[in-house]
Chain A
Amino acid sequence: MMRISYILLLAIVATLTQTVATHALWFSSSVGWIGPILPACVAVCMALYSRSAVDAALAGWILGFALELPLAGETMGVLSLLFAAGGATIYTMRDAFFRDRVITQAMLGFLFCLGIFEISVLYSRVALPGSARSMGAAALQVLLVAIYTGVFTPIVCAGLKPLHHWLWPAAVERR
């Protein structure tokens, strides 16, 4: 069973790192800033090694909430909800992949980020009308951010490997 206290700690560390340190990896493009989203990488790793869909969703919710907590009061609640749904989806999808390989992690990280942030952009468009930003530019920015996050996901998963016995005391080895 997953240890919630460690997940909370991990979410805080991931969010703080994302907010204060990952900007060195960002680059500017014609559609805006492109950078990896660390809590999304962690949520994918959690979903890959969780023992139940509920655990994966719970970890996703905590990470999503931690990401939207620090600065943006607006649209609060959306990311946590989407991260929870994303975590549960990755959990149910993971068996479709034959082995837990780097490419699998990268692919799932990409899909997770793409799905969640495209929906989040769409929600912002509907809930906060009057945005001057074209949907195409926003979608392209999310796509590039998702690719970057996908590249980072295997690195984060490898970094979390030594913590497996703390996060999941009786971790089940994946095929």
Chain B
Amino acid sequence: MRSLGRRTKWKRPTRKAALTGLILLSLVLIVLENTGQRRIPYTLSHTLRPVLAPLGEATIYLTSHIAPAPMTNDERQAEFSAILVQVKQVINDQQQRINELRHWRDAMEGFPCLLIDGHVTVREGNPLRELRLVDVGDNRGVRPGYLVTTRRIVTPYENELPKGLAVLGSNYIIGVISDSAANTATVQLVTDSQFQMPATLYRMLAPGQQRDVFVSTPSGGLEKKTVTHDGSTAGSYPVGEPIPVLAKGTGKQIVLQQVPATHNIQPGDLLTTGPSTTNLLPIGLTIGRVVDCRFESKDPHHVDVYVEPLADLSNLENVYIVMPASRGTK
């Protein structure tokens, strides 16, 4: 028998004990996550970021540039010519749009949001998720839930925008901040399989197009109405009432489920942020464009609407996090 006077020697834990401890840690993390206590999992996930962010920044653009096969001079020239034609078309289109929007400018008092410019440094390593790490975090006031857009909003609009104006320039919402650490934040892209956000769907009418829409009658019923593009603008404009929907990521696209078939959604219709984001965003910013509509197998009165994000999510570099101005001035 060991004498009581002898000093007890510290015994290294066996591998079995260490493994048991680690498995217990995993189980604790799972339980914490399911009970909504995310502080510990998130704190743990922040520990690698000081190493990961600079390394990721050094390589993310390198890998995105070496991935495509090298082009020949002829191919490059053909591509440049095509780009030039496209750019000319875009300039003409934008010029027309500027003219159309110019009259709004005087009536507006400024855009009540602050934009935090961020740089995408790391892309999620798991191909099953769509997350990005940006180089701004708590230090710049970034908080979970803030929306992330691709471009700086260039016009200092100040007044409330008129109803029905769906698109303003080319600012696309690409995701929301899901987690923020000291100097970094995680952006959950709109295509991520866990992404969900109330949004608004606008039915667009292109020049020369005609479509049926159901409009509410004073008696509370619905009346079918055929509308034709009036030629007042060279572009598309929204018709009918905006449709509130729930946008969910599918890993590749965005899907809007349980949309009544009577809304007659068509490819080309636009998905924008919904009224639930008015505390974060004063106007509806575009998320994507409808590419497909399929009847639900169990319910022929409803359709699943598939939306393609307008921003190129595979090559994100500079992003802007939209911070409500009231929060920023505090």
Contacts and interface: CB of A to CB of B under 8 A. Distances in A.
Q: How large is the interface on A (under 10, 10 to 19, 20 to 34, 35 or more residues)?
A: 35 or more
Contacts of B249: 132-133
Interface in B1-60: 15-16, 18-19, 22-23, 25-30, 33-34, 38, 41-42, 44-45, 47-49, 51-52, 55-56, 58-60
Contacts of B25: 77
Contact of A70 (B45, B58, B127): B45
A80 interface: yes
Given A61-B26, A70-B49, A24 B125 contact: no
Contact of A145 (B16, B52, B123, B127): B127
B97 interface: no
A130 B250 CA distance: 11
A162 B25 CA distance: 33
B217 interface: no
Contacts of A20: 52, 55-56, 58-60, 63, 122-123
A133 B127 contact: no
A81 B27 contact: yes
Interface string A77-103: 110110010000000000000000000
Interface stretch (B128-136, B151-159, B227-235, B265-273): B128-136
Contact of A58 (B22, B42, B129): B22
B196 interface: yes
Contacts of B179: 73
Given A71-B122, A75-B33, A55 B127 contact: no
B183 interface: no
A77 B22 CA distance: 10
B193 A133 contact: yes
A111 interface: no
B126 interface: yes
B329 interface: no
Contacts of A67: 125-126
Given A32-B128, A128-B194, A54 B19 contact: yes
A166 interface: no
B18 A130 contact: no
B52 A84 contact: no
A18 B125 CA distance: 5
Contact of B23 (A22, A37, A61, A73): A61
Interface in A122-166: 124, 127-128, 130-134, 137-138, 141-142, 145
A28 interface: yes
A127 B45 CA distance: 20
Interface stretch (B160-168, B251-259, B280-288, B318-326): B251-259
A76 interface: yes
B44 A142 contact: no
B66 interface: yes
B22 A72 contact: no
Contacts of A70: 45, 48-49, 52, 122, 125, 133
A54 B16 contact: yes
Contact of A57 (B19, B45, B55, B122): B19
A37 B55 CA distance: 19
Given A24-B63, A28-B314, A130-B196, A142 B33 contact: no
The 5 closest A-B pairs by CB, nearest first: A77-B29, A132-B248, A19-B125, A32-B251, A18-B125
19 contacts: A15-B125, A18-B125, A21-B63, A33-B127, A65-B26, A69-B48, A71-B131, A71-B133, A72-B129, A73-B44, A74-B33, A74-B194, A76-B44, A84-B19, A131-B248, A132-B248, A133-B248, A141-B251, A145-B128
Interface of A: 12, 15-16, 18-24, 26, 28, 30-35, 37, 52, 54-55, 57-58, 61, 65, 67-78, 80-81, 84, 117, 120-121, 124, 127-128, 130-134, 137-138, 141-142, 145
Given A84-B23, A145-B127, 12 more contacts: A21-B59, A23-B60, A65-B26, A70-B49, A70-B122, A70-B133, A73-B178, A74-B194, A76-B41, A77-B33, A124-B194, A132-B255
